[in-house]
Structure 1
Amino acid sequence: MPSPPATRPATRRSPFRRPTDLVERTRWLFGVCAVVSLVLTSSGAAAEAGTGRLTAIALSGAALIASWLHRYQARRGTVPLDLLDAVAVCVLALASPVPAVALGVTFSALWFRAVYGRTWEIWFYATAQCAGLVAALALWQVVPGHAAAAPAAPLLGALPIAPLLAVVARHLAAVLQEHQLAQAWDATLARLVTQLLGVTDVGQIRQRGWEAADQICRLTPGLVVVVVEDDGERLLVQGTVGPVQHLPATLDRAPVGTDLASAAASQRPGRITAPDELVASAGGVTSWVAIPLPDEPGRFLLLGGKVLHPEGVVLVQSLVNQVALAIRATSAHRELQVQARTDALTGLANRSTFSAALEAAALEAAAPAAADSPWVLFVDLDDFKLVNDRLGHAAGDELLRAVGARLAGAVREPGLCARLGGDEFAVLVHAADAAEAEALGRRLVEVASSPVRLGTGTARVGASVGAARVLPGTSWTTTLQQADLAMYAAKAAGKNRVVVADEGALASA
């Protein structure tokens, strides 16, 4: 099993303070038990011991406590310290009345060591401890003060318990580490959900998703995430997180094409045979799963690891789904915003958007630094009802879309063209004089009056335009009303023309 994830930086911790995290609390408890066992065993072994034996007990105890303290603070075990523990237990056994006295320390130390490191390290530690006790039994009569051979049966009879303890302790450690990893995964996913709240930029959503994927790869040793796009001939690499080195920009599609198609059809994660260059770049990782990215045909997240547990695949799929859900919500939000600002038939700005822009222009005209004033041009199509009556309402809608596009094309940035409703349009231009506004009005009449080819025939309408200057101190509603009145004056004068509102009447209004 891989080393437990480092969910927090390895800072020095006080061994006298009980941790709150489950795994760290278990390690602290096992460490305390080991120290208590050492103290009790040393106290019993020191009874009626001479100076030499007392010194050996003190030194071995100090070495064990120093080794355990380092392991607890560093959150990892090392082979040199494991060998030091074995030598210290051997010395403690030699200084005890019988070697079997040290068994209590060995078993407690084995429990404490099992919650750190990989499985082979635990077996190495158990073997070293047993070797140290057997060495104490073999050296018993060599050490001064031991006249007779030590009884071997109590020690040798209890030693087989050590590997059993190693199995049980390692299983417990594995369960705790998996629990810790699951907690870290869940915390990462929950943090992503919190971060995505209120984010409406798709780029930021994808960035947060990548950061979460990177965190999951850091928590899970050996996990690799690669996003690719299948163009039908090759796989285009679009991003990676995890231990990947020298990955080409394109991958061979042949080994994985069928698997990707199957995953895309089912919209569920599927096992794949990864291309050789991907396996080599990921350090020999051969276990891979393809997760189709929702709403993005042809794009896949490839998840690789030495061992891919179902829980890990489900976690990454949940991350993908959360990002996709946030993107959908953002798209829906933007669509609603667009719908609220635009006319559904023509795609132009609607009445509320035009009103807000006109109100802002009125404030702009009131500014002391304003030179030329903004202008409003009210456009009403002439004889539009005849088109509806002759060709039908569908043809009338088609005509409105065509004329609206023409009017918008005649207005330069930052001007605004809007459909107010029915066959009424309005244009707002900034910083223009009367001649420029009237010239634009004639241009609008020209483009609106050109024949329009429809699905049911050809139609032609005219346009009457009323223009009004946005004067300082005049409300935007008054300006729009004056432009409307000027438009009716254009109709009364024979249609297909431009009439500019009388500024004197507008000022008095």
Structure 2
Amino acid sequence: MTEGTRWLFGLAAVGSVLFNMPGIVLTARGGLLVLGIVTGAFLIASWYLCFTRGRVPIPLEFGDAVAFVLFAQALPNPVGMLAVVFASIWVRGLYGSTLRSVLRSCLASLSLVLSVSLWPLFHEVPLWIGVADTFNAIPLLFLTMLIARQLSIVLLSREQGMLRDRELAVTGSLLLGASDAEAIGVIGWAGAQSICAATPGLRVLRAVLDGPVLRVDAVSGEFSSIPDAVPSTVMTLCPSASDARVGDAAPLDAAVGERLAWACLASDVRTNAWILVGAPKVVPPEALVAVRALSIQVALALRNSSVQEELLVQASSDPLTRLDNRAAFTARLTAILAGARPTDGLHVLFLDLDDFKDVNDILCHRAGNDLLVTVADRMRTHTRPGDVCARLGGDEFAIVLAGTNEADALEIARRLGAAIAEPVRLGAQTAQVGVSIGLATAAAGIDVEDLVHQADVAMYAAKANGKNRVQVFEPGLLRVDNPRVTFEWQLAAAAAANELVVHYQPILDLPGLQCTAVEALVRWQHPERGLLYPGDFIDVAERTGAIIGIGAFVMRRACLDAAAWRKANPGAPLAVHVNVSAHELDREGFVDSIIGCLADTGTLAKDLVVELTETVVLDSPAAIGRLRAIGALGVGIALDDFGTGYASLTSLRALPVDVVKIDMSFVAGAVSIPSDRSVIEAIVRLCAQLGIATVAEGVERLDQERLLGDLGAGGVQGYRYSRPLSAADLTGWLADNRAGANGSGADVGGLLRTSV
């Protein structure tokens, strides 16, 4: 835009000279003709030089003033010089400082007066305009200068803002694809240099507070010398210690080589790190916003990199116990089984703690985690160095014993069971749990799945026979009245038996707290055990494949209810979120099943949101293609538990994500923990730039709601507003919400009481 304006004004100035040339050619003779052509050419060359170099040297300002006077003498009437002078003011107004523009206007005014004064000396024709008349044009000339200068300032400011926004977008795109911390640092600092280049005179210095000094990490912009450190007195910490202002800026000015205005920003990249931003006269607020946004982008990318690095360590281990995880256990057992000979002796122990849920319920989940860590330590102590110990999930463990006979394996299992059953000190309390162990021996031709299944069945038989014992697998344990098999068969038939129930938890917008969506949550009305929650059966459903039928049932039920709500409340926006597992995404007919469900239930595609975690996508190679296919239909894609996975940024780049659900672990600590608050702020800012809606999960208190509103979150979900409700109860809740019953949040407690 700025270059286009310069071109336009430059062409107008050249035109003002060329339009006067016919009068010079027709009336001037001899020296005046030569003078007119030479000075006209000089002015055009001067403007061209100004345009190409982007500045006007002071000698050229005086040269233009002299050229104005000489060019006017060749004109048939010096009044024609007004157009040339005013055109020059417009052209020159786009370059230099305000002080230079004032000097330029003074020289132009003097040129006009001299042009009229000297013209009669070279012409016999009387001049109908006097010198005094030219003073009438001078105020207009200065007004033109002010307008041109203001236009220049606005254009340059707009251009710099656009450049900064572009550099932020480019840097953000590059950071999405970066996982190495060093590469992220290079990209981030290159972005800082681009922001400095887009804002003339801007300097950026990053430093870490180290006692009495600030150690300089990096600088961007023009510095005459780059110090290793500057005194900490250049910065004064505010009482909160999370903000600061610039104190003694002399060491900073000395490093730059000129006196600047400075501002200080807390860095989101690391603790005690600060960003000092300097500029002549005043630091542009827009530049500070850009530097702050860049810092948040880099912080989020570095956090993602840190999680990925941690994942490389944890890829084959359980994060709590540091035993092998399920994937590593399966891989190692597969390799051992493939290389084992029938005479080698290969056994699998499947362990499940007895009454572990009581520890969680009575002593809290932290105590339960401590107990699991202790169990893992005892497993390492009472097995051999070459044995494979793994935590499969929850309170389930497995061990691979290679190179031993069944009697020795049974002895190891009993010794291990006795060790695990010993009392454990958990804080001020003591807990004691038993362990049910199933033992299976590898036979010729058996595969991994069957071997683990046999050990699993033997473990359930140990529980059925009184718990806290070892059970060796026998073929008779596979009979249909086995408790484990019975439960799996009941689960597989639950959908067809109409035993599944779908509850819904509202999602509300901020700040209005109007319900815009609900999340569908499945329950199982077990004929014997009563109402079971997902934690009681989803793992089994995924292992057995029953999750396909359960997912199809929940999808259809949710779509039917969504269609009913829309019919009852036409025009009221209400989408339904349905969770999808990796097994469902792996199925070939997944997209067709979505299309069929929408058609059969009369649900609009925009009213359905498929909700999944990053792990689901990574576990399913075909997931991304299928998600893009349903996204093309208009179905929304929501990424759940965002911020806890190791590929959060990669997921946003690879998937057609419409909604990001911020994990409740960040919401829980956001009010009191600055790092959690920074993560939420970074996620919200990033999603805003990408055009992705945000929903914060697990909101339970008013202060959390207010903080999320201040940070710019688009929606909230949690017990503060409602527990999961049946479809019938949700209908009444929605009516109250539409009427604004919970608009102020004052009646949230009442909503909770009715939902319970």
TM-score (norm 1): 0.71
Contact 1:263 1:292 in 2 (8 A): no
Counterpart of 2:295 in structure 1 is 320
The structure-2 alpha-carbon separation of the partners of 1:129 and 1:248, relative to structure 1 and needing over 3 Å to count, comes to same
Counterpart of 2:697 in structure 1 is none
The structure-2 alpha-carbon separation of the partners of 1:379 and 1:281, relative to structure 1 and needing over 3 Å to count, comes to same
Report Cα offsets for 1:235-284 as digits up to 9, x if no partner: 2323322223434333322452xx3234645x5xx542145322311233
Counterpart of 1:252 in structure 2 is 231
The structure-2 alpha-carbon separation of the partners of 1:408 and 1:262, relative to structure 1 and needing over 3 Å to count, comes to same
Cα drift, residue 108 of structure 1: 0.6
The structure-2 alpha-carbon separation of the partners of 1:423 and 1:212, relative to structure 1 and needing over 3 Å to count, comes to closer
1:303 matched to 2:277? The reply is yes
1:374 & 1:308 partners in 2: Cα distance? 75
Cα drift, residue 481 of structure 1: 4.3
2:143 & 2:384 partners in 1: Cα distance? 84
1:181 matched to 2:160? The reply is yes
- Give SS of 1:117's match: coil
The structure-2 alpha-carbon separation of the partners of 1:462 and 1:141, relative to structure 1 and needing over 3 Å to count, comes to closer
- Percent identity between the two aligned chains: 31
Letter in 2 for 1:113: R
Contact 2:438 2:457 in 1 (8 A): no
Report Cα offsets for 1:67-113 as digits up to 9, x if no partner: 22233233333334434433332221121234443222111111111
Counterpart of 1:31 in structure 2 is 10
Counterpart of 1:434 in structure 2 is 403
Contact 1:466 1:483 in 2 (8 A): yes
Counterpart of 2:221 in structure 1 is 242
Counterpart of 1:221 in structure 2 is 200
Which moved further from structure 2: 434-443 or 43-52? 434-443
2:410 & 2:258 partners in 1: Cα distance? 71
**How well do the aligned residues superpose, as a CA RMSD in angstroms?**
5.1
- Give SS of 1:97's match: coil
1:378 matched to 2:375? The reply is no
1:272 matched to 2:246? The reply is yes
2:100 & 2:287 partners in 1: Cα distance? 25
2:345 & 2:265 partners in 1: Cα distance? 55
Cα drift, residue 49 of structure 1: 2.0
- Give SS of 1:47's match: helix
1:374 & 1:279 partners in 2: Cα distance? 76
Contact 1:419 1:425 in 2 (8 A): yes
Which moved further from structure 2: 312-321 or 483-492? 483-492
Contact 2:440 2:451 in 1 (8 A): no
Report Cα offsets for 1:43-69 as digits up to 9, x if no partner: 234332224322222222222222222
Letter in 1 for 2:403: A
Counterpart of 2:495 in structure 1 is none
The structure-2 alpha-carbon separation of the partners of 1:427 and 1:225, relative to structure 1 and needing over 3 Å to count, comes to farther
Counterpart of 1:79 in structure 2 is 58
1:136-151 alignment runs, 5 A limit: 136=115, 140=119, 151=130
2:368 & 2:258 partners in 1: Cα distance? 66
Letter in 1 for 2:72: A
The structure-2 alpha-carbon separation of the partners of 1:488 and 1:98, relative to structure 1 and needing over 3 Å to count, comes to closer
1:419 matched to 2:391? The reply is yes
Contact 1:225 1:303 in 2 (8 A): yes
Contact 2:13 2:84 in 1 (8 A): yes
Letter in 2 for 1:315: A
1:304 & 1:225 partners in 2: Cα distance? 6
Letter in 2 for 1:321: I
Q: Which is bigger in relative contact order (C-alpha 8 A, separation at least 6)? A: 1
2:99 & 2:240 partners in 1: Cα distance? 37
Contact 2:233 2:248 in 1 (8 A): no
The structure-2 alpha-carbon separation of the partners of 1:231 and 1:379, relative to structure 1 and needing over 3 Å to count, comes to farther
1:65 to 24, 44, 57: 44
1:287 to 237, 261, 265: 261
Contact 2:337 2:448 in 1 (8 A): no
Contact 2:345 2:404 in 1 (8 A): no
Counterpart of 2:144 in structure 1 is 165
1:261 to 210, 222, 238: 238
Count, aligned residues? 462
1:89 matched to 2:68? The reply is yes
The structure-2 alpha-carbon separation of the partners of 1:490 and 1:309, relative to structure 1 and needing over 3 Å to count, comes to closer
Cα drift, residue 172 of structure 1: 1.5
Which moved further from structure 2: 206-215 or 412-421? 412-421
The structure-2 alpha-carbon separation of the partners of 1:416 and 1:120, relative to structure 1 and needing over 3 Å to count, comes to farther
The structure-2 alpha-carbon separation of the partners of 1:75 and 1:403, relative to structure 1 and needing over 3 Å to count, comes to same
Contact 2:193 2:220 in 1 (8 A): yes
Cα drift, residue 114 of structure 1: 1.0
2:150 & 2:190 partners in 1: Cα distance? 32
Cα drift, residue 211 of structure 1: 2.4
Letter in 1 for 2:330: L
Letter in 2 for 1:301: I
1:182 & 1:412 partners in 2: Cα distance? 65
Cα drift, residue 226 of structure 1: 2.0
Counterpart of 2:527 in structure 1 is none
The structure-2 alpha-carbon separation of the partners of 1:449 and 1:184, relative to structure 1 and needing over 3 Å to count, comes to same
1:226 & 1:499 partners in 2: Cα distance? 68
- Give SS of 1:246's match: coil
1:2-41 alignment runs, 5 A limit: 22-41=1-20
Cα drift, residue 183 of structure 1: 1.6
Contact 2:320 2:369 in 1 (8 A): yes
Letter in 2 for 1:318: A
1:107 matched to 2:81? The reply is no
1:241 & 1:464 partners in 2: Cα distance? 63
1:403 matched to 2:375? The reply is yes
Letter in 1 for 2:390: A
1:476 matched to 2:411? The reply is no
1:402 & 1:479 partners in 2: Cα distance? 27
The structure-2 alpha-carbon separation of the partners of 1:245 and 1:82, relative to structure 1 and needing over 3 Å to count, comes to closer
- Give SS of 2:76's match: coil
1:78 & 1:298 partners in 2: Cα distance? 45
Letter in 2 for 1:480: V
Which moved further from structure 2: 77-86 or 337-346? 337-346
Which moved further from structure 2: 453-462 or 437-446? 437-446
Report Cα offsets for 1:193-232 as digits up to 9, x if no partner: 4334465555554443322222111111221222223345
1:248 & 1:26 partners in 2: Cα distance? 41
TM-score (norm 2): 0.50
1:48 to 27, 49, 53: 27
Which moved further from structure 2: 30-39 or 50-59? 50-59
Counterpart of 2:678 in structure 1 is none
1:201 & 1:315 partners in 2: Cα distance? 23
1:348 & 1:203 partners in 2: Cα distance? 30
Letter in 2 for 1:102: M
Cα drift, residue 115 of structure 1: 0.9
Contact 1:341 1:349 in 2 (8 A): yes
Letter in 2 for 1:407: M
Letter in 2 for 1:454: R
Cα drift, residue 400 of structure 1: 3.2
The structure-2 alpha-carbon separation of the partners of 1:427 and 1:101, relative to structure 1 and needing over 3 Å to count, comes to same
